[in-house]
Amino acid sequence: MRPCDPTSGGAKLELALKTLAAKTADIGDEWSDDAYARFLETYLEPIRPRLKTMIDAIHRLSEVLNMAEQQCRDEHA
pLDDT value at residue 28: 87
Residues with Cβ within 8 Å of residue 48, at least 6 apart in sequence: 17, 20, 21
pLDDT value at residue 58: 93
Domain with 51 in it: 6-75
pLDDT value at residue 2: 57
How many domains is the chain partitioned into structurally? 1
In a domain, 22, yes or no: yes
In a domain, 47, yes or no: yes
Residues of the chain scoring pLDDT < 50: 1
In a domain, 1, yes or no: no
pLDDT value at residue 49: 93
The secondary structure of residue 6, as a DSSP letter, is: H
